[in-house]
Amino acid sequence: EFVRAAFAGIWIRSAEHDDAVAEIAGLCRAEGWALAAWDVHRGLEVVGTAANSQPAAVESDPLGAVRTLANLADGSRPALLVLRNFHRFLGSAEIVQALDAAIAAGKRNQAFVVILAPIVQIPVELEHQFAVVEHDLPSRDQLDAIARAIATEPDELPDVPKLDAVLDAAAGLTRAEAENAFSLSLIRHGRVT
């Protein structure tokens, strides 16, 4: 909806960036949209292209990452640039100005800046240019799948009424937190409890 409505700046508050990027990538594949992701450690990756056809490495340059959005957008289809933990770089006037320009141009050429961060910390110059979205925590079915992936031996998973209580207790946890809690329970008690 945000892409179709031309919200060129999207801020996703998430504690699970890998899962958020995977969900965004699935949406982009389904819709035929271009996608690139950047973080300070891995640099730029254009999702869905062969490694040898990647653009020149942006490396750890956050300003260069923002500037690549213009190259991703060809105007024929939406192009999303996901910037992981980019809130760390928003103290720079150059980066704030580059984002301002990228978002303004993005409305015209279907180029979208998506910032993934565990907090919402938008500079005052940009605060009205971003739509803020919460990345959903795992659903009950996803928590059940996590528990079943952890408890692979007979009797490691409780019967249905007790499993319901475990899933109720896990509501509100991230995927990683649920995996850790289920694993620790398995080690301590020999079963998920």
Q: What six digits make up the tokens of 34?
A: 């271009």
Mean pLDDT of the chain: 91
Q: Is 45 helix (H, G, I), strand (E, B) or coil?
A: strand
* H-assigned helices in 36-129: 62-72, 93-109
The confidence score (pLDDT) of residue 73 equals: 82
Q: What pLDDT, in 10s, does the model give residues 7-37?
A: 999 999 999 999 999 999 999 999 999 999 9
Residue 43: name the closest of 29, 25, 56 by CA: 56
Global pTM reads 0.82
Q: Which two tokens stand for residue 192?
A: 């998920």
- What is the pLDDT averaged over residues 50-60? 54
Give the model's pLDDT for residue 48. Answer: 65
* pLDDT above 60 (res 50): no
Q: d(Cα 77, Cα 91) in Å, to the nearest integer?
A: 31
pLDDT of 51: 47
Q: Read off the DSSP letter of residue 38.
A: E
Tell me what pLDDT residue 58 has: 58
Element of type H or E holding 11: strand 9-13
Give the whole-number percent of the chain exceeding pLDDT 90: 80
pLDDT in tens, 153-183: 889 999 888 999 999 999 999 999 999 999 9
Phi, psi angle pair for 99, to nearest 5°: -65, -40
As given in the structure block, the two tokens for residue 189 are 């008690």
